[in-house]
Amino acid sequence: MKALILAGGIGTRLRPLSHSMPKQLVPIANKPVVYHGLENIRRAGITDVGIVVGDRGQQIRAEVGDGSRLGLRITYISQSEPLGLAHCVLISRDFLGDDDFVMYLGDNVLLGEISDFVEEFHEHRPAAQVIVTKVTDPSACGIAEIDANGTVVGLEEKPQRPKSDLALMGVYLFTPAVHEAVQSIGMGRRNEWEITDAIQWLVERGRKVRAQVFSGFWRDTGQIEDLLECNRALLDGLEGSLAGEIDARSRLSGQVVVERGVRIRRSKIEGPVIIGADSVIEDSVIGPHTALGSGCAVHDAGIRNSIVLDGTSVRGVHGIHASVIGRSSTVVPSPADPRRHRLIVGDHTYAELAT
């Protein structure tokens, strides 16, 4: 079995962060989003992976490489423009060959293993198997209607009148039967080749399509709030480890990861928190639910429930919360009031805040 990771999306809803990096490389718990999917695939025993990339494919190639660090063999497949999930299958035909495969959206975070889904697929080997989860607004998603036996009887993309509250999660398993389907459908009403149309094509022709319901944590990291929620969920599962220098006047509580080269002085760290390599924390309060990247400098500051990317400096500002701060940014105080600050800023930003 192979895997196909889709990483060609633009990420307009994550601007300004996505102005300078693909959304699949935005770090959550100090790890690029796409790595969480790649590691899940590897744990399922799948090592031959294709990654569909768009016009920022070179950045993804530079970060992920040939996959050897992750125990994977990676092939990159270029998509000239984002024309839908089924189009990704279509252009990946040479890589996929006649193998079964998992298709995994590269901007999704799933807490839990896909191994059980893969085993279920191997046991029954339907033409397609979809993973679904209950949602409160099914009109915003691709929706599956299933019978009591878990067989899919219909699918629809963002229906105005949903027949189900079971949304497609972004993890799909296919036999080579899907290739005939994607070649047979045309563009959908959103001017894309919809994977829901391809699976519906299989259903209408009597091909077996199964669904499995997932009840754990899953998010599409398409918006800032989703990033922060995923960061909290991943940090909640953190196992602490201390590899840096922590002076006697600092206090750590909860699960905290302190990477090599970190120096913590006269500070309070409230886990779950991860602090990236070579960062310096002085006279500050960090956490809970904060991921601080590598090479950061935090002096006389307070940060909670936030994602701070590599190389950022925060000095003299307290009350930072629910924020995402881009790489190599600088945050310093300016004279005025209030005392709570929320920042969504891209790379190389300079911000002055009231304290």
Across the chain, mean pLDDT equals 87
What count of other Cβ atoms lies within 10 Å of the Cβ of residue 149?
7
Which one is predicted more confidently, 331 or 237? 237
Query: What does the alpha-carbon distance between residue 328 and residue 320 come to, in Å, rounded to a whole number?
Result: 17
Give the model's confidence band at 302: pLDDT under 50 very low, under 70 low, under 90 confident, else very high. Answer: very high
Alpha helix ranges (H) inside the chain: 17-20, 33-43, 57-64, 85-91, 93-96, 115-124, 177-184, 195-204, 224-236
Out of 131-145, 165-179, 196-210, which region has the weakest mean confidence (pLDDT)?
Answer: 131-145
Write out the E strands in 99-161: 101-105, 108-110, 128-134, 142-146, 152-157
Which one is predicted more confidently, 351 or 227? 227
- Options 3.10.20.90, 3.60.21.10, 3.90.550.10, 3.40.50.1820; CATH of 2-234: 3.90.550.10
What's residue 347's pLDDT? 65
Query: What does the alpha-carbon distance between residue 138 and residue 321 come to, in Å, rounded to a whole number?
Result: 30
Per-residue pLDDT tens digits for 186-209? 776 666 788 888 998 999 999 999
Residue 200 has φ and ψ, to the nearest 5°, of: -60, -35
Average pLDDT over residues 67-77: 94
Please say if the pLDDT value at position 352 is more than 60: no
What's residue 339's pLDDT? 57
Q: Which residues contact 250 (CB under 8 A, 6 or more apart)?
A: 264, 265, 266, 267, 268, 269
Please say if the pLDDT value at position 349 is more than 70: no
Residues of the chain with CATH 3.90.550.10: 2-234
Per-residue pLDDT tens digits for 19-47? 777 778 888 999 998 999 999 999 999 99
What's residue 12's pLDDT? 67
Query: What does the alpha-carbon distance between residue 327 and residue 325 come to, in Å, rounded to a whole number?
Result: 7
Residues 238-354, CATH architecture: 3 Solenoid (2.160)
Please say if the pLDDT value at position 338 is more than 60: no
Per-residue pLDDT tens digits for 75-122? 999 988 878 889 999 999 999 999 999 999 888 888 888 888 999 899
Half-sphere exposure of 224 (CA within 13 A, CB side): 20
Rounded to whole angstroms, what are the CA distances from 163 to 136, 169, 259? 13, 17, 49
Which one is predicted more confidently, 221 or 90? 90
CA-based max dimension of the chain: 69
Per-residue pLDDT tens digits for 235-289? 999 999 999 999 999 999 999 999 999 999 999 999 999 999 999 999 999 989 9
- Report whether 182 contacts 75 (CB < 8 A): no
* Most confident of the ranges 58-72, 133-147, 153-167, 247-261: 247-261
One-letter amino acid of 136: T
From 134, 217, 221, 115, select the one nearest 173 (Cα to Cα).
115
Residues of the chain with CATH 2.160.10.10: 238-354
